Structure 1
Amino acid sequence: MSLKEIKEILLTIDKTNLTYVNLKEKDFTLEVSKSQNTKDEILLTDSITNKSDFVETINSIAVSDDIHLIKTPIMGTYYESPGPESSSFVRVGDKVNKGDTLCIIEAMKLMNEIHSDVDGEIVEVLLKNEDLVEYNQPLFKIKTI
């Protein structure tokens, strides 16, 4: 395995939520661990005693009745614009219509456009350009009209 490949793997791991990776290839082993970012951790209180309470609490934090989450249907790399020199498809405050392109998710060298499934206003973009995304990960919060 080349140094360039190792650097690519390390950068990829750094962009994910993974905390431990063990990669074995022939006579080479790469073992990486990282601590979780404490700002991303959620502290459970005594009032949350079971899984359904936990899920309900998380959902109430994330989304209110008039906020719609756009989630990615695939794993890949998030791109906010069609090209490096292009402006973003959407920004916070932009009005969007059902069917408008919000971003691109690249998976296996295929560019997949993600479209809005509601009319509304972008209230939060949950990722940065070139972040790695996992299946069903929230991308945008849209206030429905």
Structure 2
Amino acid sequence: MDYGSIKELIKIINSSDLTNFEMEFDGVSLKMSKEGNGTPKTSTTKEIKAVEASKLEYISESKTEQVIEEPEVKGGTYVNSPIVGTFYTSAGSDKPAYVKVGDKVKKGDVLCIIEAMKIMNEIQSEIDGEVAEVLVSNEQMVEYGQKLFRIK
């Protein structure tokens, strides 16, 4: 985590209702808390603790909420995006979606289109199965390797 990222976090926490914030990432522990005047007090340490680095813990005065960034591991095979681009569920706004949850698919069936540099790339299923989850929304930007579908 670089200085710019820490500075951005301070701005976000300062403008929020949170009074305390703790985060551990790559062995760096970051703790911020607001005092009575709303000014954040920040400290960082180079400690590795037992808490997993992928967890963020938000602490407010009355409740604690944990957010885990990693998705729950579920059965099935994930179809990942082979490119960066815009995800489309169908060939056009007036056309039905290629697949939806519950649909049976076969190897080679088109699941979606990803537009990259004005080229429409059809993403095909590599296995036979049933669409268990669609993990992105229509017209959403996707990254290389991002999970798009779960097929079981």
TM-score, normalised to structure 1's length? 0.58
* Runs of 5+ consecutive residues of structure 1 not aligned to the other structure: 1-19, 21-33, 36-42, 52-57
Correspondent of 2:124 among 115, 122, 135: 115
Distance in 1 between residues matched to 2:79 and 2:97, nearest whole Å: 16
Distance in 2 between residues matched to 1:123 and 1:93, nearest whole Å: 6
Structure 1 position 84, deviation (Å): 1.0
Where does 1:1-145 land on structure 2 (aligned, <5 Å)?
49=52, 58=70, 61-64=72-75, 67-143=76-152
Percent identical? 49
Distance in 1 between residues matched to 2:149 and 2:133, nearest whole Å: 6
The aligned amino acid for 2:109 is D
1:91-145 alpha-carbon deviations (Å, 9 max, x no partner): 00000000000000000000000000010000110111100000000000101xx
Higher helix share: 1
> Which runs of at least 4 in structure 1 moved beyond 4 Å after TM superposition?
46-51
Structure 1 position 63, deviation (Å): 3.0
Distance in 2 between residues matched to 1:49 and 1:81, nearest whole Å: 39
1:48-86 alpha-carbon deviations (Å, 9 max, x no partner): 5478xxxxxx47x2332xx00000000000000011100
CA pair 48-109 structure 1, distance change in 2 beyond 3 A: same
Higher strand share: 2
1:7-64 alpha-carbon deviations (Å, 9 max, x no partner): xxxxxxxxxxxxx8xxxxxxxxxxxxx96xxxxxxx99x865478xxxxxx47x2332
Query: Which protein shows a greater Rg?
Result: 2
Distance in 1 between residues matched to 2:94 and 2:121, nearest whole Å: 19
TM-score, normalised to structure 2's length? 0.55
